[in-house]
């Protein structure tokens, strides 16, 4: 496997995060919490993501294992199946959102074309691209990322109205967990890419650039567009900036952004699902998941974005917290967990995920965010277990 420097790692991660649903989510963030609440959420959320990202970057280089192999090392084969299936479901949820956005943008410029046909064609092309593996993904990212950043910078300049008076909302910290939930899947999946890092320094540089520069920039773009646009629909806000030719350019932007990100979603899902499907090859897994992602688009997740994102992030929160808790005692983490230890973490992840789902359905309540509930329950349980175990051993 080719070793990746910080530029390669940043480019691939940028391809994961520069996506229209992510920008649209920040657009939604503004509509819910206002300008000040959004800025607070982006600032503190990015710092927290960066801190957790550094831990996962270190974990990636330390073990040099993709996510699913790392989960198997810590939590056994059953844990790998639970974690792999959960993470694959989350990624395919994001995949379907991307496909919906791409299709919606194209049909806005070409309403005579059936959306499901566009969806199917794009899904097939993404599957073909992912089958080329990491090298194919890196090439697409290197080509598309500069274009996408430039396009967003142009949108910001185009939509800016210096005469508009900004309306600042009240101080509100509830945007912080929402910002974290938008990006936590990428943090947890860092080992899938960062295990190929040339050095720990390269992984730290890439993590810093992604979470303290790139991610806040894309988040601010979403908030900026919401601030200076009268449209509550993000795609509509982009299309109203210009005429027909501009609409076609926006469609190209949305497709390229979605394609780049869905390369990472599909690749990671195919790796994560491996323990659950026996001897199925990477090719077979990728094609099957591409079909599943295409079918999920018919659930129309964009119509209920907040709940859809909340649901697909809950199952990632428990897995990420379990890995975080375990690696925090990294000087012991080269030893795989055995027997009852594996069972404890497996039960903890399932219980925390179940609680998070109940919280999302408003049947139970801890913090008010299902994702945050599942993360905190697993994190507290994992730390308590590790502290107790190491105290007894000493």
pLDDT at 134: 58
For domain 6-304, give the fold: Hydantoin permease (1.10.4160)
Tell me, rounded to whole angstroms, the distance of Cα 16 from its chain centroid.
7
pLDDT value at residue 50: 94
- Over 311-327, what HEC string results? HHHHHHHHHHHHHHHHH
**pLDDT surpasses 60 at 335:** no
Residue range 78-94: mean pLDDT, rounded: 85
Give the domain ranges of the chain.
Answer: 6-304
Tens digits of residue pLDDT in 290-311: 999 999 888 887 777 777 777 7
Chain-centre distance for alpha carbon 308? 13
Write 160-164 long-range contacts (CB < 8 A, 24+).
160/224, 160/228, 161/228, 164/227, 164/228
pLDDT at residue 21 is higher than 70: no
Beta bridge partners of residue 384, listed in sequence order: none
- Output the pTM of the full model: 0.79
On whether the CB atoms of residues 186 and 17 are closer than 8 A, the answer is yes
Model confidence pLDDT, tens digit, residues 163-211: 776 666 666 777 888 888 778 888 888 888 888 899 999 999 999 999 9
Closest among 319, 376, 288, 375 to 82, alpha carbons compared: 319
Segment 131-144, tens digit of pLDDT: 876 565 566 666 66
User: Which tokens in the block code for residue 152?
Assistant: 């967003």
Distance between start and end Cα atoms, the chain:
40
């Amino acid at each position: 496997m080719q070793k990746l420097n910080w530029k390669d790692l940043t480019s691939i991660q940028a391809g994961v995060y520069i996506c229209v649903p992510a920008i649209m989510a920040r657009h939604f963030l503004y509509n819910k919490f206002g300008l000040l609440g959004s800025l607070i959420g982006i600032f503190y959320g990015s710092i927290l993501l960066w801190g957790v990202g550094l831990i996962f970057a270190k974990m990636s280089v330390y073990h040099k294992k993709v996510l699913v192999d790392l989960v198997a090392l810590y939590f056994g084969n059953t844990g790998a199946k639970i974690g792999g299936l959960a993470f694959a479901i989350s990624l395919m949820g994001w995949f379907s959102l991307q496909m919906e956005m791409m299709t919606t943008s194209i049909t806005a410029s070409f309403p005579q074309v059936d959306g499901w046909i566009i969806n199917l064609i794009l899904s097939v092309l993404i599957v073909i691209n992912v089958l080329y593996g990491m090298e194919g993904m890196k090439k697409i990212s290197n080509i598309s990322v500069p274009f996408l950043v430039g396009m967003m910078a142009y949108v910001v300049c185009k939509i800016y109205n210096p005469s508009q008076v900004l309306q600042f909302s009240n101080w509100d910290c509830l945007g912080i967990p929402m910002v974290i939930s938008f990006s936590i899947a990428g943090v947890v999946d860092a080992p899938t890419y960062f295990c190929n890092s040339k050095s720990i320094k390269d992984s730290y540089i890439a993590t810093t650039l992604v979470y303290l520069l790139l991610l806040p920039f894309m988040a601010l773009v979403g908030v900026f567009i919401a601030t200076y646009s009268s449209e509550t629909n993000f795609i509509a806000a982009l299309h109203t900036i210009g005429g027909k030719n501009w609409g076609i350019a926006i469609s190209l932007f949305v497709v390229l952004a979605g394609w780049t990100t869905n390369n990472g979603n599909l690749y990671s899902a195919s790796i994560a699902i491996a323990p659950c499907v026996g001897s199925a090859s990477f090719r077979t897994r990728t094609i099957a998941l591409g079909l599943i992602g295409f079918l999920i688009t018919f659930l129309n997740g964009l119509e209920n974005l907040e709940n859809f994102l909340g649901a697909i992030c809950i199952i990632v929160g428990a897995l990420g917290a379990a890995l975080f808790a375990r690696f925090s005692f990294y000087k012991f983490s080269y030893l795989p967990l055995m027997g009852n230890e594996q069972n404890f973490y497996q039960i903890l992840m399932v219980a925390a995920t179940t609680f998070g789902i109940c919280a999302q359905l408003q049947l139970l309540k801890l913090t008010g965010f299902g994702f945050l509930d599942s993360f905190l329950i697993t994190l507290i349980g994992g730390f308590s277990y590790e502290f107790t175990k190491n105290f007894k051993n000493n």
